[in-house]
Amino acid sequence: MTYHDHISQEDLELHAMQALSPEQSAAIRAHLEECVLCRAGLDEVTSNLALVAMSVEQHPVPDGAREKFIESISLRAASQEQETRRTVVSMPARRPAFRLVYWIPWALVAALVIVAVTLAVKIGTLNEELQRRSDLVASVAAENSHAQEALAVLTAPSAQRVLLTASKTRPQPTGRAVYLAERGGLIFQANNLSPVPQGKTYELWVIPANGAAPIPAGLFQPDAAGSASVVLPPLPKGVPAKAFGVTIERAEGSATPTAPIILSGAGE
């Protein structure tokens, strides 16, 4: 037989114990001359057999056994030498049996990978929860800051308080504006407004005292009762107001007021 790959653990053990046929032993020896891995496996098997032999209780050798043993070895060696000169018969090769010890390191690596993945998932979950709480705190802080700014505008002694009324004879729609020029803070409340047509909206305007162009101060839609409000729209600071006005514009708003002016009022 000829080994094209590696000798199995079983064949190595049988070879070490000289339990194979001469043909099989010859094929194994020929393979061992070329294969480092199988020679190492044979060394390990030989070591194991030696340990087993040392653990067996020793008994006296019978008379004549030594001579018979030496004669048997001589005959086997001569037979094996003849066999190596003959044509080697092919024999199916078998891979060496892998022992359980080879799998232990890979099992440990797999366990460590599982632990690492589990910890990564837990850390990701904790980070998401921490981010959610951080966002909530930031949102509450922003709302509190906005409320404090609105309160500062409403209670400032220097804030302008203006009552806006309809420019025509109908007095029902009204609006009140509280404006703090130094902060650019404006709070506007309107009542009794009529609904606007589809695609239209109300727009609030600040008319600067220096004669500059009107400044857009926010878009709004009245509710079912005709009420609406604009609280702290983004306005430039330090612009004194001469008057305030409300017009009806396109839904996206306008850069300049469109007549007619629905509500207007002069600053105090």
- Answer for the pair 222, 235: CB distance below 8 angstroms, yes or no: no
Please list, in sequence order, all residues whose beta carbon lies within 8 angstroms of the beta carbon of residue 90, skipping any fewer than 6 positions away.
1, 2
Q: Does domain 160-266 have CATH number 2.60.40.200?
A: yes
What is the b/e burial string over 14-41, where b = at least 16 CB atoms within 10 angstroms of the residue's CB? bbbeeebeeebbbbbeebbeebeebeeb
- Asked if residue 7 has pLDDT above 90, the reply is no
- Domain spans, the chain: 9-97, 98-155, 160-266
* % residues pLDDT > 90 (the chain): 39
Distance CA 253, CA 94 (A): 85
Sign of CA dihedral 35, 36, 37, 42: positive
- Asked if residue 146 has pLDDT above 80, the reply is yes
More confident residue, 98 or 260: 260
pLDDT range class, residue 89, cuts 50, 70, 90: very low
> What confidence score (pLDDT) does residue 66 get?
58
φ/ψ bin of 18: left (φ > 0), alpha (ψ from -120 to 50), beta (otherwise): left
- Asked if residue 11 has pLDDT above 50, the reply is yes
> What confidence score (pLDDT) does residue 98 get?
46
- Asked if residue 237 has pLDDT above 90, the reply is yes
> What confidence score (pLDDT) does residue 65 get?
54
> What confidence score (pLDDT) does residue 251 get?
95
Exposed / middle / buried, residue 263 (Cβ in 10 Å: 0-12, 13-18, 19+): buried
- Asked if residue 85 has pLDDT above 70, the reply is no
pTM, two decimals, is 0.46
- Asked if residue 2 has pLDDT above 80, the reply is no
Question: Tell me: the pLDDT tens digits for 218-228?
Answer: 999 999 999 99
Among candidates 94, 100, 77, 61, which has minimal Cα distance to 25?
Answer: 77
- Asked if residue 90 has pLDDT above 60, the reply is no
Q: Considering the chain, what is the average pLDDT of its residues?
A: 81
First to last CA, the chain: 116
Q: Where are the beta strands (DSSP E) in 172-213?
A: 174-180, 185-191, 200-208
What is the b/e burial string over 182-197, where b = at least 16 CB atoms within 10 angstroms of the residue's CB? ebbbbbbebeebeebe
Helix (H/G/I), strand (E/B), else coil: 180:
strand
CA-based diameter of the chain, in Å?
A: 144
- Asked if residue 61 has pLDDT above 60, the reply is no
> What confidence score (pLDDT) does residue 70 get?
64
Distance CA 50, CA 88 (A): 30
